[in-house]
Every structure is written in C-alpha cells, then in structure tokens.
Amino acid sequence: MNILSLADVLEAIAEFVDKCLGPLGSGGTKDMAIYVRDFCVQLCSTLIIFLLVRFLLWKPITNMLEQKREAADKELEEAKAKNESAALLEADLKEQLSKAQYEVKSILDNAQMEANARREEIINDAKAEAKRRLDKAQVEIDQEIKNKQQEIQDMIVTTAFAAATRILEHEVDKDKYIQMVNEIIEGANK
C-alpha cells in the first residue's frame, strides 16, 4: 500500500490552486496581457451578440412568443367555452332523458291500464255471452221438455184412446175421451 505523507497532499493541493488561478497564480503576470486581450475580445463578442440578439432577434422572438401565448390563451378560452357548452348540453340531454323516461313510464302505465280495462271488458263480454248461451240453451231445453211432454201426452192419449176405442168402441166418443184423459193427466201433474 502506498501511504501519502502530509507533505505530498499539501503539494497536490497547491498545484491544483495554481492551475485554478491561472495568470494570477504562482506563474506570475507574464501572460497577463494575453489573458486581458482574450478577455476583451470575449467581452466585445458577447456585447455584439447581445446587441444583435436585442435589436435583430428580440422583437421577432418576443412577437412569436406573444403570438404563441395568445394562441394558447385563445385555445384555452375556446376549450373553456366548449366545456361549458358541453356541460349545458349534457344537462339538457339529462333533462330530455328524464322527460323521455317519464313519458315512457306514463305510456306504459296507460297501456297497462288500458290492457287491464280491455281484459275486464273481454272477460265480462265472455261471461255475458256464456250466460246468454246458457239461458238460450235452458230455454231450448225447457222448450224441448215441453215438446217431449206434449208428444208423450199425445202418445199416451193416442194409445189410451186406441185401447179404449177397442174396448168401448161405440159407447164414448173421441172428444169426450180426450177431455177426460187431459183432466186425468193434469190431475197427475199437480
């Protein structure tokens, strides 16, 4: 291992400081004129560049930057206006959607009520038709029963008359016999 002595470290620091100080360092002032001339040339060039930039480029650059700023501001204002317009449009669309939903609900409710009313009407019509048909069928049945009773009565009368005619061929006439049979049948029906 290589251990540095304190003297070596101090010598290295002294060399570094001399290099940093340039002509003001331990080398003396022998190259000072060269450094002053270089400094003046650099100062003049910097001043010329500054003046050129200031008088030739400053206004166009600032105008261009101002135009960019104005364009950006304009775009921001347009975006803000469009955002507000979009918010108004969204609110309007929400309101229209709400109204449409209410109208749809109202239409569905009305359709439901009409359907229920129509169903009740159809059911009532069907019940009335069924009752009418039952009443008609009952009337037809009652009429058929009367007709059959009359046929049976006529058959009984005819049969009884035929039997009685054979038995009593000349003693009772037909009209009196029918009257008697009808009285007997009426008495039996009561």
158 within a domain of the structure (yes/no) = yes
63 within a domain of the structure (yes/no) = yes
pLDDT in tens, 84-121: 999 999 999 999 999 999 999 999 999 999 999 999 99
* In the block, residue with structure tokens 């918010």: 87
pLDDT in tens, 162-184: 666 666 655 556 777 778 777 77
Q: Could you tell me if 17 and 25 are in contact, meaning their C-beta atoms sit under 8 angstroms apart? A: yes
Angle between helices 58-167 and 174-189 (to 10 degrees): 130
Selected residue with higher pLDDT from 141 and 180: 141
26 within a domain of the structure (yes/no) = yes
Question: Helix H segments across the chain?
Answer: 6-21, 32-52, 58-167, 174-189
2 within a domain of the structure (yes/no) = no
The domain of 52 spans 8-189
3 within a domain of the structure (yes/no) = no
164 within a domain of the structure (yes/no) = yes
36-70 as b/e: b if 16+ CB within 10 A: eeeeeeeeeeeeeeeeeeeeeeeeeeeeeeeeeee
127 within a domain of the structure (yes/no) = yes
Q: Could you tell me if 18 and 25 are in contact, meaning their C-beta atoms sit under 8 angstroms apart? A: yes
Q: What is the dihedral of CA 116, 120, 126, 129, to 10 degrees?
A: -140
* Nearest to 61, CA basis, from 53, 49, 51: 53
Query: Per the structure, how many domains does the chain have?
Result: 1
